[in-house]
Amino acid sequence: MPADYHTHTPLCMHAEGSPEEYVHAAITAGLTEYGISDHAPALPEPFDDWRMRSEQLPEYFEWIERARAAAGDHLPIRAGMECDWLSGCEKWIVTLTEKYNWDYLIGSVHYLSGWDFDNPAWLKKWAETDVEDAWAQYWQTYSTMAESGLFDILAHPDLIKKFGYRPSGDLRRFYEPTIDAIAASGCAIEINTAGLHKPCEEVYPEFDFLDLAFSAGIPLVISSDAHHPNEVARDFSHAIRHAQDAGYTETLLFQNRQRSFEQL
Ligand code: ZN
Ligand code: FE
Ligand code: ZN
Ligand code: FE
């Protein structure tokens, strides 16, 4: 089993479970490593209702330490954050980078011009949105995030499809420029299995994107995006099949923001 590096904690206010429960689930699943990457604070605060505030960072570090204590020498626990890529956020991300001895940082695009398009609370907005424009803006934003070089892993590449809104035609016209940007940056991407349980009913990213990513030499991790202990390593065998179908034979491990390869 690979590592599962994209997982959450109750500090983001929409996840549940204790560090001990998550670690137990990770050991039971036979993961190589378990990584914690809750939604990072964002500025200006309070930013939204689905992340910790910066004053809670010490609590987050305690949560990580509790997970390490629970894992003992049975399982390496890695520390990360899922950071939102927002316009003008670069300085803040650098500040966050210096706050802890992170093993990796994940970059995510959840916002387009102040709209968290993946939030079910604003689902109605999709009906009045030009899907082609939203997609164009999303992939441009994703490319800019890759080019920033601030992250080790780029999360759920085609999250924009979450509620099933996609332009018609061959979507590779959106993917190709972003694939080039990611390949040039050296960042890894993830297969994120949470999408299987959303209206789109498939992993992020879809196979065409993964296929292009493999051809471009972009490295890979596999993630559950668990917000509950039951979701740790969920559907990993499905994701491993996708990775292998695209040609991948290995995934990445991270420690102190240094990477190594692990056979799939
Ligand atoms: Zn979340
Ligand atoms: Fe996310
Ligand atoms: Zn599938
Ligand atoms: Fe997440």
Report CA(6)–ligand 2 centroid distance (Å).
Answer: 9
3-state SS of the chain is CCCECCECCHHHCCCCCCHHHHHHHHHHHCCCCEEEEEECCCCCCCCCCCCCCHHHHHHHHHHHHHHHHHHCCCCCEEEEEEEECCCCCHHHHHHHHCCCCCCCCEEECCEECCEECCCHHHHHHHHCCCHHHHHHHHHHHHHHHHHHCCCCEECCCCHHHCCCCCCCCCCHHHHHHHHHHHHHHCCEEEEEHHHHHCCCCCCECCHHHHHHHHHCCCCEEEECCECCHHHCCCCHHHHHHHHHHHCCCEEEEEECCEEEEEEC
Domain range enclosing 100: 10-263
- 198 found inside a domain: yes
Least distant ligand from the CA of 84: 2
Nearest ligand, CA 118: 2
> Do 192 and 236 touch, CB atoms closer than 8 A?
no
CA of 202 to the centre of ligand 3 (A): 6
Q: Ligand 1 centroid to 226 CA: how many Å?
A: 8
Rounded-to-integer distance, Cα 114 and Cα 117, Å: 9
For residue 99, report the distance from its CA to the centre of ligand 4, in Å. 20
Residue 174 CA to residue 114 CA, distance in Å, equals: 21
| pLDDT value at residue 263 | 98
The pLDDT value recorded for residue 198 is 98
Within-domain flag for 5: no
Contact status, residue 179 vs residue 142, Cβ threshold 8 Å: no
Distance 224 CA to ligand 1 centre (A): 11
Which tokens in the block code for residue 79? Answer: 């520390």
The answer to whether 156 and 206 are in contact (CB under 8 A) is no
The first and second tokens of residue 185, run together, are 């940056």
pLDDT of residue 127: 95
Which residues does 201 contact at the CB level (< 8 Å), separation at least 6? Answer: 195
Confidence at residue 188, expressed as pLDDT on a 0 to 100 scale: 98
Task: Report the pLDDT averaged over residues 201-214.
Answer: 98
Q: How far is the CA of 205 from the centre of ligand 3 (A)?
A: 10
The per-residue pLDDT for range 43-68, each reduced to its tens digit, is 999 999 999 999 999 999 999 999 99
CA distances from 103 to 86, 94, 169, 202 (A): 22, 15, 39, 28
| pTM of this prediction exceeds 0.85 | yes
CA of 155 to the centre of ligand 2 (A): 7
For residue 229, report the distance from its CA to the centre of ligand 1, in Å. Answer: 13
Here the CATH number for the domain that contains residue 152 is 3.20.20.140
208 C-alpha to ligand 4 centroid (Å): 22
**What does the angle CA 252 – CA 143 – CA 247 come to, to the nearest 5 degrees?**
40
Query: How many structural domains does the chain have?
Result: 1
Distance in Å, CA 246 to ligand 2 centroid: 23
Q: How confident is the model at residue 258 (pLDDT cuts 50, 70, 90)?
A: very high
Ligand 3 center–CA 203 separation, angstroms: 6
Average pLDDT over residues 149-171: 98
3 domain-assigned: no
Please indicate, yes or no, if residue 17 is contained in any of the structural domains. yes
Strands 258-263 and 250-255: antiparallel
- Residue 14 is predicted with a pLDDT of 98
Ligand nearest to the CA of 203: 3
| Ligand 2 centroid – CA 9 distance (Å) | 13
Residue 238 CA: which ligand is closest?
3
* Residue 39 in domain: yes
Ligand found nearest the CA of 205: 3
pLDDT, mean over the chain: 98
Give the orientation angle of helix 172-185 with respect to helix 131-148, to 10 degrees. 10
Residue 146 lies in a domain: yes
Read off the pLDDT of residues 188-197 as tens digits, 9 standing for 90 and up: 999 999 999 9
